[in-house]
Amino acid sequence: MRVSDIMERKVVTISTDATLGEAIALLADRHISALPVLSLHGPMVGVLSTSDVLQAEAEARTTRRTELFENTLVRDLMSAHPLTVAPNATVHEAAQQLLYSEVHRLFVVDNGELVGVISQTDIVRAVANARDGSVVM
């Protein structure tokens, strides 16, 4: 089984120039835990996760919270160099990369273009849906 067989193809993204408030709204509205961050020219340059948001919130002073959400740009909090995987990689390879890197998702990139995302949940779901229990990953 290949990553392209189970990846999510409709990836919600955000720009480096978006505010943290906009990112939080998108994360909440779409019920997702991370957003790939695209530069103004299109390529993916980072990822903003709920962990990044929690860290910013924990480090903010109470009087700065409104300012934090309105004036902080995504590029200031994102993690650069998100982990990626090719669409033709096996699900087994993706599972190993997720496990060893201690991340919850990998962005699927083909020839430099973001084409999907695969998460731990996607892999567990694929295993659970296997009819004969002998999923080849």
Of 32, 53, 122, 118, give the one whose Cα is nearest residue 83: 118
Show the tokens assigned to 135: 């999923």
Q: Is residue 43 part of a domain?
A: yes
Using one digit for the tens of pLDDT, what is the confidence trace for 40-88? 887 899 999 999 999 888 887 655 666 777 888 999 999 998 999 999 9
Predicted pLDDT at 100: 95
What region, left, alpha or beta, does residue 78 occupy, with left being phi > 0 and alpha being psi -120 to 50 degrees? beta
Q: Is residue 22 part of a domain?
A: yes
Q: Is residue 136 part of a domain?
A: no
Region of poorest pLDDT, from 15-19, 109-113, 125-129: 125-129
Using one digit for the tens of pLDDT, what is the confidence trace for 83-117? 999 999 999 999 999 999 999 999 999 998 999 99
Domain range for 71: 3-129
Categorize the per-residue pLDDT at 130 as very low, low, confident or very high, splitting at 50, 70 and 90. confident
Report the CATH number at residue 93.
3.10.580.10
Per-residue pLDDT averaged across 24-33, rounded?
A: 95
Q: Is residue 18 part of a domain?
A: yes
Q: Is residue 135 part of a domain?
A: no
The percent of residues above 90 in pLDDT, for the chain, comes to 71
Tally of structural domains, the chain: 1
Q: Is residue 137 part of a domain?
A: no
| H-only helix segments in the chain | 3-6, 20-30, 50-59, 65-71, 74-77, 91-101, 120-129
69: Cβ–Cβ under 8 A, 6 or more apart, which residues?
Answer: 19, 20, 21, 24
Predicted pLDDT at 65: 65
